[in-house]
A and B are shown apart, each in its own frame.
Chain A
Amino acid sequence: MTGYIIKRLIAMAVTLWFIITLTFFLMHSIPGSPFNEERNTSEAVQRNLEKFYHLDEPLYVQYGMYLKSVVTFDFGPSIKKSSQTVNEMLGRGFPVSFELGIVTLIVAVFSGIALGIIAALRHNGFIDYLAMTIAVLGISVPNFVLATLLIQQLAVNLAILPVATWSSPKHMILPTLALATGPMAIIARLTRSSMLEVLTQDYIKTAKAKGLSPVKIVFKHALRNALLPVVTVLGSLAASILTGTFVIEKIFAIPGMGKYFVESINTRDYPVIMGTTVFYSSILIIMLFLVDIAYGILDPRIKLHKKEAS
């Protein structure tokens, strides 16, 4: 197990280094400097600006400095919003995005599993079809469309929920709903199919024969095994929720990290783009790592220290 974890940690570091390098060289392959604007700056000012942001150094020096700054978690100042550093932006945006992400993940996991269980227990019945229709719709409808529909119906037409911003629990309902539906649908489908498989196993029959209550059979015996596939997708689901926050934060005017990211793309604020990308990527990579470890702990049949069977 320890050996596996060390191996994974090294792989994570390599992936992260790859992302940092990719981001850095992509950003620097763009012709012109970020200060070439319509706004006329004298040559001296231009040179001073470039000196301040170390843009006059050779590329490998800049690369080295960037690597160092990433390791020390200091992403430097924003180019477009002077007086602000990328760290400040991340510090302000991350708690909000984190809150949105976590609430969404919890809602998606619990409602998805519940929907999946109900559908599996009523296999081929009306409720099963209803649940799976909801699930397929949830996968098919892009979250920005869902968000707009929710705003229009619930916030504008019926006026029961606030339209935008992020100040009270009531404000959280619509964004969470819009963001959670897709992942919920994926979880529901997975839970249903693995639940159906598990319910035909012999040990479930044994449990039934022992006269256990259906509730106990489902929650104590079936669900434990049925949930393993769900754990495997949690990592990629977290990724989709994370990228989903860009759009949702834009639509609902939520002051999270996604908003800064989208803004920085539109204004080509390179330090912010690089900083947020590296930050997002590290979160994602850590998530994937944690999911793998959790999977190994949950499923005793998988032995992480052994060489991966193909």
Chain B
Amino acid sequence: MELRKQHDNRNLAPDIPDDWFVPMAKDQDAAEAVVRPSLSYWQDAWRRLLKNKLAMAGLFFLIALAFMSIFGPMISPHSVSEQSLTNQNLPPSSKYWFGTDELGRDVFARTWYGARISLFVGIVAAMIDFAIGVIYGGIAGYKGGRTDNAMMRVVEILYGLPYLLVVILISVVMGPGLFTIIFALSVTGWVGMARIVRGQVLQIKNYEFVLASKTFGTKTSRIIKKNLLPNTMGPIIVQMTLTVPSAIFAEAFLSFLGLGIQPPFASWGSMANDGLSTILSGHWWRLFFPAFFISLTMFSFNVLGDGLQDALDPKLRR
């Protein structure tokens, strides 16, 4: 079409000699060919995530951290609770890589043991939030109307609760410990997830493919499972990567107030709390290592979450 048009109007461009206008060979017409291989949503997201150097660095740190939390205590020649009263408050050396604390316990072994606790708290809290939030938000969003209204009133009340205050209260009542922390974090934590899932489901349930599915007589549970949830996974995953660091932070905060993990077990928060009292006597390694790894973990989850947010957002697709 285009070619023919130019040919007809060739006298409108007198500078261009006629013999420049040659018909284009058929196989040269590449405009309609598929330029890039077709990628599924997840492949495309992964490709974009790979390009984000900071997010990849975060992912790498987290994998390394998970690895060390499993094998770190094994690598160390000393056990977590082994006391050696002749070796109190030693600075880092070839024998004690991260130094020792006031009972002569190895800070290296305790740091990785603390990583276990912190990562465990973060991941379990995020999974519980995920389970409750998706079911609650999914039902509220899908049913809509009265059910949605009633369910969201509950969420509104819980959302207004000061999160850390509730966590502190529950820890006071239930007594400190790992289970208490996870329970306390989950009581209010799922609310954010429920709100996100509900918003997404409300939007997606009106799309044609859901309607098509309904006309085939698909059961509600199957529609939620197969049609709605896969399409809300992006924001859910992002929310989860942000839940984990906030849970880890809350654990550190509680342990710092003395409501967290109790000795002889260690978490980063309780180690930092112990280390704080000795910082003025120059035992910097006791605060430095747990604090450094808390920060590194928070940093990694945050940049990974940011990266995922960009990667999973279809609007930013190029």
- B binding-site residues for A, Cβ under 8 Å: 156-157, 160-166, 168-170, 172-173, 199, 202-203, 249, 252-253, 256-259, 272-273, 276, 279-280, 284, 287, 291, 294-296, 298-299, 302-303
* Cβ A30 vs Cβ B259 within 8 A: no
* Cβ B253 vs Cβ A247 within 8 A: yes
* Cβ B291 vs Cβ A239 within 8 A: no
* Chain B proximity of A268: nearest CB distance (Å): 7
Q: Tell me which residues across on chain B come within 8 A of A277, comparing CB atoms.
A: 165, 169
CA distance A285 to B299 in the complex (A): 30
* Chain B proximity of A303: nearest CB distance (Å): 19
* Chain A proximity of B172: nearest CB distance (Å): 6
* Contact bitstring A256-268, B, C-beta under 8 A = 1, else 0: 0000001001101
* Cβ A262 vs Cβ B252 within 8 A: no
CA distance A285 to B159 in the complex (A): 10
Task: For the complex of A and B, list the 10 residue pairs with the smallest distance between their C-beta atoms, beginning with the closest.
Answer: A140-B299, A145-B291, A140-B298, A15-B160, A243-B164, A26-B173, A140-B295, A141-B295, A284-B162, A310-B202
CA distance A60 to B148 in the complex (A): 32
* Chain A proximity of B171: nearest CB distance (Å): 8
CA distance A145 to B173 in the complex (A): 27
* Cβ B172 vs Cβ A280 within 8 A: no
CA distance A59 to B316 in the complex (A): 57
Q: Tell me which residues across on chain A come within 8 A of B299, comparing CB atoms.
A: 136-137, 139-140
* Cβ A273 vs Cβ B162 within 8 A: no
Of all chain A residues, the one with the shortest Cβ separation from B280 is A156
* Cβ A27 vs Cβ B294 within 8 A: no
* Chain A proximity of B307: nearest CB distance (Å): 12
What 7 new A-B contacts, CB under 8 Å, besides A144-B276, A243-B164? A11-B160, A136-B299, A145-B291, A148-B279, A265-B257, A265-B258, A273-B169
CA distance A281 to B170 in the complex (A): 15
Listed A/B pairs (26) with beta-carbon separation below 8 Å? A11-B156, A15-B156, A23-B169, A26-B169, A26-B170, A27-B173, A29-B173, A136-B299, A140-B298, A140-B299, A141-B295, A141-B298, A142-B272, A142-B291, A142-B294, A144-B256, A145-B294, A148-B276, A148-B287, A152-B279, A246-B257, A250-B257, A251-B276, A265-B257, A266-B258, A284-B160
